[in-house]
Chains A and B, each alone.
Chain A
Amino acid sequence: MFTATVSKAAADLTRALNAVQTGFVDAATAASLKATKTIAAAETVQRKAVTKADVVLAKDLQSAWGTYAAVERSAVTLNARERATIGADFKKEVAGAELAAVKAVAPARKTSMVATAEANGVYHVKVTGIIADLGILGGEIKVEATKAKATSISAWLGKAAQGLWDTAKGVVGTISKSYDAISLAAHTALGAGGAIPILGVVPDAADFALTAIELPFGKSDGKDFALATISLATTVAPGPVDGLAAGAKITTRMAKAGAKVADGAGAARRAITELGECGSQLELSSALMRRLLGAAGDYWAFGQGIDATKAARWAKAEGFGFEIGRASRFENARNAVVIGRDKLKLGQVNVIELAEEIQHGLDKATGEAGRFLRKYSGSGLSPERINELFHIEHFRRIIHNWEKGRFSFLSADDISGIRRIIGELE
């Protein structure tokens, strides 16, 4: 009985213990679940917070980058605008100086041209394609319309004294027209043929007809017509008389053609003389422009700028010093690149200028500049032109070195600028 009771009690106890244990486990599981849920909730909150912070950060970054980009864009625009202004100002300055120089000589030139024209039997000179604003080289200088001769622009450009035409005496046509040569040959041949007894009537008649046709066009005149008539009439006369008439006819035409050729040659000579004067004037203005360009030596329209300290580093990388002086060059005595003070722009050095002077330093061993000067001394070229020719070679050496990896501070745009400078110099 007792045993049974004990067993029952033990079973109850076991059950009770199991129940307690199970309840405890359930409670623990519940607590654990709750804790897990709490952690998950906390994690969710944290994730949300992080996400939110990320969004804020991203927005801030975006804003910051936007500001930076705007600042950079503004700086680039400002730089570009400044460079464009510098280029435009410089071109305007050069053009202004050139215009002023030409204007300064224009009145004297006009007087000289009119005087020349009058002295040469009165011409009017037609020059086109040159600034009309100058009041002299544009349009025509009309001196005397009735005795006017025109000189074409091709003559003024000195290529050849061709295209001259004579409007004197109402005759219009070029002096050395091929027709004149054909006409002379035809008249000469027909005239010679006309000297043949009896049969010569045919060429004489042809010559007479040709003369009559040419008469209204000014290619034959009254004297030619009279001689042609006489020649035709004397066909039936004895040989010597017919021959004499033919000879007179041919001689007259030859003399006239000769006079015309001489006249044409004279006109050509005068045109060429005036062309020489005009050419000198144009050359002067061109030289003036080159001098201005040379004096300014302004590469700012072609290349970018870098800080003087960076420029000094680039010079040092090649083993040279760096100085700011009165004129840009490579100073052998100091083994230093020298940049002219007036060549700086807002404290920056133009990279093309820097490359040019560094290249001088690299060429020091071979003495390129001295060699070039010796080569061209006594060549008759002006110092400015020799300088230009040298710099064409010099800039090509820079490009060559850049292509080999040197002068890495030069961008493709700068190289393009150098090529444009070479084009200008050529």
Chain B
Amino acid sequence: MTISSMRVPIETDELGLVEECSWDLVPVIHPDSTKHLDVDGLPREGTVLRPGMILVGKLGKTAAYATSRKPTALELQGLEFEQLRDQFGHLWVDRCAYVPPGMAGRVVGAECQKNADGSEVVILTVET
């Protein structure tokens, strides 16, 4: 059993805005894929990680975001995920960190820390 630490930086998007960290990545990623993430997009303690899983849930805004409209509350409620993704997916881009191939383990800790320059980084402790 090995305890390893991973660092996932929170970066800026095309608009120069800080990436949004959340489990809620609609309309880019289906909510079924983010059930193991908490409100800040970090994996919950005890989550068993497998290759391809989202490690940290993050979205960035695209350049189109400034000129196109966001879905209304009704569209968000009434459209299927696929329809939402087709119509509004281009406004955001998937910036999630994924579990790399060949890696598996169990999350024993996840926290967001602030660097000296003000930027943020997610520190993950994984038992492999």
Contacts and interface: CB of A to CB of B under 8 A. Distances in A.
A369 B77 contact: yes
A333 B30 contact: yes
A370 B79 contact: yes
Contacts of B39: 323-325, 341
A161 B126 CA distance: 75
Interface stretch (A3-11, A181-189, A382-390): A382-390
Given A370-B79, A383-B69, A383-B75, A333 B22 contact: no
B70 interface: yes
B35 A334 contact: yes
A329 interface: yes
A384 B32 contact: no
B42 to A, nearest CB: 13
B73 A297 contact: yes
Given A331-B31, A333-B31, A334-B31, A369 B74 contact: yes
Contacts of B76: 327, 329
B31 A370 contact: no
Interface in A316-345: 323-331, 333-334, 338, 341
Nearest to B77: A369
A126 interface: no
B74 A387 contact: yes
Given A324-B39, A372-B78, A373-B78, A384 B31 contact: no
A353 to B, nearest CB: 10
A329 B59 CA distance: 18
A386 B78 CA distance: 12
B75 A387 contact: yes
B72 interface: yes
B81 interface: yes
Contacts, number: 67
A391 interface: yes
Interface in B40-83: 59, 69-70, 72-79, 81
A387 B73 contact: yes
Given A295-B70, A324-B39, A384-B72, A373 B79 contact: yes
Given A295-B70, A333-B31, A390-B74, A325 B79 contact: no
Nearest to A327: B76
B72 A327 contact: no
Contact of B72 (A294, A333, A367): A294
B107 to A, nearest CB: 19
Interface in A346-391: 360, 367, 369-373, 383-384, 386-387, 390-391
Contacts of B30: 333
A360 B78 CA distance: 10
B78 A370 contact: yes
Given A333-B31, A333-B81, A372 B24 contact: no
Nearest to B78: A369
Given A295-B70, A369-B74, A386-B74, A323 B24 contact: yes
Contacts of B31: 331, 333-334
Contacts of A390: 74
Please give me the 6 A-B residue pairs with the lowest Cβ-Cβ distance, nearest first: A325-B24, A369-B78, A387-B72, A369-B77, A373-B78, A333-B31
Given A326-B26, A373-B79, 16 more contacts: A291-B69, A323-B24, A324-B39, A325-B22, A326-B20, A326-B25, A327-B73, A331-B26, A334-B31, A338-B24, A367-B78, A369-B78, A372-B78, A373-B75, A387-B75, A391-B74
Interface of A: 291, 294-295, 297, 323-331, 333-334, 338, 341, 360, 367, 369-373, 383-384, 386-387, 390-391
24 contacts: A291-B69, A294-B72, A323-B39, A324-B39, A326-B20, A326-B26, A326-B59, A327-B24, A327-B76, A329-B73, A329-B76, A331-B31, A333-B30, A333-B31, A333-B81, A341-B22, A367-B78, A371-B78, A373-B75, A373-B79, A383-B72, A387-B75, A390-B74, A391-B74
